[in-house]
Amino acid sequence: MKKRILAELLGTFAIVFFGCGSIATLAGQPSAHVAVNLVFGLVVTSMIYALGPISAAHFNPAVTVAFALARRFPWRNVPGYIAGQILGAILACTALKVIIPELARACSFGATVARIPADRAVLSEGITTFFLMFVIMSVATDRSANSPIPGVAIGGMVMLGGLMEGPLTGNSLNPARSLAPAIFSGGEPLASVWIYILGPVLGAIGAAVAFEALRTLAEDAHSAPADIGRI
């Protein structure tokens, strides 16, 4: 179990370090919006291929909770996974503070802040996370999914969500990704971090429930990780 938690820590570290780091280093450039979302999509894809065989590559507390509610992940392992994810995000922000302190502070460590009213931001985060989690459920809990597909499908969904939703909410979809920068920057990001907890969690849970209801072959279903029962 310790190796799985470490994998979650490393994967979440990479997502926040490269994703939020790109927000800091590319700020002000004409291509920043597209480039930042490309970075987030690619780092998610890369970490899924690198660490998916170890932990199933949740890298997101909302995903872990949704898997557990869908009975595809044991509740007893949820606290460890979430602790690893949050610690990984905090360590990533710490690294950014050390390496690019001025740039990191200038962009609030890549914190997500809604540019639309809070209720609409929760809805937007929820809908986008719904489709992300729906894709995750499809490729991570179904034996009929082709093995090369998960990283590309999930990373692509992260990138697509960011291209559309980024200007509205920052396209978090991940409580750990928003919580760590909010802790480091304080102020408005910290005051509104609840949006990026509530929206993604509700969206992910809704997707997990919906996919289980639509699943056609129950015998093809498995947990994420598939061998989690042996822990």
Which helix H or strand E contains 136, and what residues bound it? Answer: helix 118-140
Dihedrals phi, psi of 31, to nearest 5 degrees: -95, 10
49-59: pLDDT as tens digits: 999 889 889 99
**110 three-state secondary structure:** helix
Statement: residue 13 has pLDDT above 70: yes
Query: pLDDT higher for 195 or 223?
Result: 195
For residue range 182-203, what is the model confidence (pLDDT) as tens digits? 999 999 999 999 999 999 999 9
Dist. CA 191–CA 108, nearest whole Å: 13
Higher-pLDDT residue of 139 and 74 is: 74
Least confident piece of the model among 73-82, 136-145, 200-209: 136-145
What integer pLDDT is reported at residue 28 of this predicted model? 85
The predicted pLDDT at position 227 comes to: 61
Q: How far apart are CA 204 and CA 208, in angstroms?
A: 6
If one counts every other C-beta atom within 10 angstroms of the C-beta of residue 66, the result is 29
Q: Is it the case that residue 230 has pLDDT exceeding 50? A: no
What is d(CA 78, CA 81) in angstroms, rounded to the nearest whole number? 5
Mean pLDDT of the residues in the chain: 90
Amino acid occupying residue 69 = L
108-157 residue pLDDT tens = 999 999 999 999 999 999 999 999 999 998 887 766 555 566 788 899 99
